[in-house]
Structure formats: structure tokens, C-alpha cells
Amino acid sequence: MFYDWFKGWAMTTNAGKNGSAAMRVGHVLGRGVGGILHTEKAIWTTLVRAGVPNAILTPVKWAARASAMVLTVGFAAWGLLYAAGLLAMVSVAFALLSGSRGSISGSGSLQTSLPTLSCRMGMKGAVYT
């Protein structure tokens, strides 16, 4: 009984099958990562068969992996900065459009209205209320 329920929710190899959009996107991304790893294995296997010594191949392999990770993190940071700038522009546009009569300060919603306190300065600089 549990197997029948689980079979309906488990991941299939058919991305066109009915399922959630997240499941299909995850499946496609997983296949893409699998393809990249398969290509990487093929490249290193080809270099080993060509006679490149492991003393040279191992540092090159790890340097390539590290540079790929750094490149990925760099593109992610670039995308986040782009999104932050876009959010800032949208926020400024919203603030300008929501103000009354085109005023930047609008109706004073950003200004605080504090109750006035009557304060006296003492002889030694102490504040008395």
C-alpha cells in the first residue's frame, strides 16, 4: 500500500509526466549536472589514455574544478547584485509614485512626530523633565 502511494510521488525519468513544476525543473537540473560530470570524466579519461602523468593531471583537475566553482560563485554574486540594484530602483520608483502631488517626502510618512518634551538644562548639564 505504501509503495503505491510512494510510486505516485517518486521521481521518474520522464520529465514530461504529470507532476509539479519544481519536480520537472529539479529533474532537468539534475540531468544537466549529470551531463557535466559525465563530460568531465570523459575529459580526464581521455587525458589519462593519452599518457599524461597523474602528477600533472591531478593538480590540473583540481585547478579546473576550483576555477569552475569560483566562476559559479562569481556569477551568483553578480546576479544577486543585479537583483539588489533592480530592487533599489523599484523601491525608489514606488516611493516617488506613492507620494502626494509628486513630492518626494509625500505626506510626511517618513517623518516622525514625537511628543514635545519640555526640558530644562541644569547647572551641570543634567536634563530635568
Tell me what pLDDT residue 5 has: 47
71 closest CA partner among 83, 82, 63: 63
Structural domain boundaries in the chain: 19-52, 53-98
Tell me what pLDDT residue 125 has: 55
Tell me what pLDDT residue 121 has: 52
Cell 559525465 belongs to which residue? 38
| Amino acid identity, position 89 | M
pLDDT-flagged residues of the chain (< 50) = 1-3, 5-6, 102-103, 117-118
Tell me what pLDDT residue 83 has: 95
Q: For residues 102, 105, 108 and 110, what is the CA-based torsion angle, rounded to 10 degrees? A: 140
Identify the three-state secondary structure at position 116: coil
Identify the three-state secondary structure at position 120: strand
